[in-house]
Amino acid sequence: MGLFGDDFYSTKVSRRAEPEQKGKLQIIRPGGGRRDRWSNPGKSRSGFSSTVKVAVISSVISSIVTVTLFSFISQPATQLPLANAAGQGSGTSQTAQVVDPYDRIINAAAEVRPSVVSIVNHKTGSSLSMKDSALGSGVIFKKEDGKAYIMTNHHVVEGASDLEIVTVDGETHKAKLVGKDRVSDIAVLSTDDKGLGAAAEIGDSSKLQRGQTVLAIGNPLGLGGTLTSGIVSYTDRILPVSINQDGVYDWEQNVIQTDAAINEGNSGGALVDLNGKVVGINTMKISDTGVEGLSFAIPMNEVMKTVDSLLLNGKVSRPYLGVYTVDLSNPYAPLDDDQRKDLKLPSHVDSGVVVLEASGPASDAGMKLNDVITEFDGQKITSTLDLRKFLYDKKKIGDTIEVSFYRDGKAEKVSVKLTDKPE
């Protein structure tokens, strides 16, 4: 058979063919035919010899190609030939070492894990047992003058009487609260740095990309040092939250959305990139029937703004108006007909916030129960969320704000000088 597996190079002929002309070499077509016995014998031998040469050469070429392809394919996946960088045609090649992505996960986890601690919040002063305690996580971010500083969530340390941290090696240390901020849900603790791991390296959360691999390290359900992994599902998700946990959304939190598994106790732990840098603080998840892979972390760039303020002042200072309110059109706690009738609002007023209590600057300016705030400085205010965002984003301590509101059905305005919130 020939190189292509057909009869083009076959030396065999069929006996059924007749010579077309005696004394001459008969042409063999792909369909077959035989040489006449009167054909020129010299030429027949020459044709046979040429055919053999073609077959031999074809076989050699085929063997060379096969060996070359096999040697290339059989190279290890981590060693691929690169062109000579110098371009000198010297025939030499360089080898690129491709790093196993799982090795990067292992290395990043090993680097950050000693910096992540478990936090035990003893909510009763009479006992240090685990029965009346809450568990969370924290990240060592600074070691200075014999102290280690740990960042965590506000809700992890809320209501604490005594605080302890537990290292990955099981050592327990007493901790003190440096400061906390309910709005950002961040708190800072301090403790003696003896026996504690190195401070974690802080990353730039603004450089995160969707699809990027991240790790969550923390203390879920008391299982300290637990590692899970996933990807960044969304880099800057805005979630409504209830600051005082009353079911009414009164703030919006900017978070990183991931599908890395977190559970109760992961709060305050580290979200880590593959370079071993902390890019977020794990804070919450959506837990409901049929819901999976929705976890959230506070971006590290936002966390550090709060941390710096807590280290400096023990708190985050924000402008304070002094009103406790409820939304006029809150779907979760709607006002009944009698309550609306007591407000004596005009029919066109269907949104705003009702003052339940006035103190501090608002009280000093004459505001009181059942005033319905509708505008700040001419900008419409429809909810407590609008009220807070306007104050925190557009005003500072010492500024004066013009408040438009309805009292007993009449539109009124008052100027209020904002102060720092009292302790």
Where is pLDDT greater, at 274 or 243? 274
Q: Decide if 185 is catalytic.
A: yes
- The pLDDT value given to residue 108: 96
Section 93-113 average pLDDT: 79
Q: Do strands 251-258 and 270-273 pair parallel, antiparallel, or not at all (unpaired)?
A: unpaired
Where residue 85 falls among pLDDT bands split at 50, 70, 90? very low
Active-site residue identified among 137, 155, 250, 295 = 155
Lowest pLDDT segment from 73-87, 196-210, 259-273, 306-320: 73-87
Q: Calculate the average pLDDT of the chain.
A: 82
Instruction: Kindly tell me if the per-residue pLDDT of 5 is higher than 60.
Output: no
The number of C-alpha atoms within 13 Å of 238 and in the hemisphere containing its C-beta is: 3
pLDDT of residue 67: 55
pLDDT at 138: 98
Is position 154 annotated as part of the catalytic site?
no
Q: What mean pLDDT do residues 171-190 have?
A: 96
- pTM, 2 dp: 0.73
- Among 122, 137, 154, 185, the one annotated catalytic: 185
The answer to whether 112 and 103 have CB atoms below 8 angstroms apart is: no
Q: What gap in Å lies between CA 79 and CA 95, rounded to an integer?
A: 6
Lowest mean pLDDT among 165-169, 175-179, 244-248, 348-352: 244-248
- Among 162, 157, 117, residue whose Cα is nearest residue 138: 117
pLDDT of residue 31: 38
Active-site choice (39, 184, 233, 267): 267
* Tokens, residue 242: 């209830």
Alpha carbons 139 and 118: distance in angstroms, whole number:
9
Judge whether 351 counts as a catalytic residue.
no
Asked if residue 399 has pLDDT above 60, the reply is yes
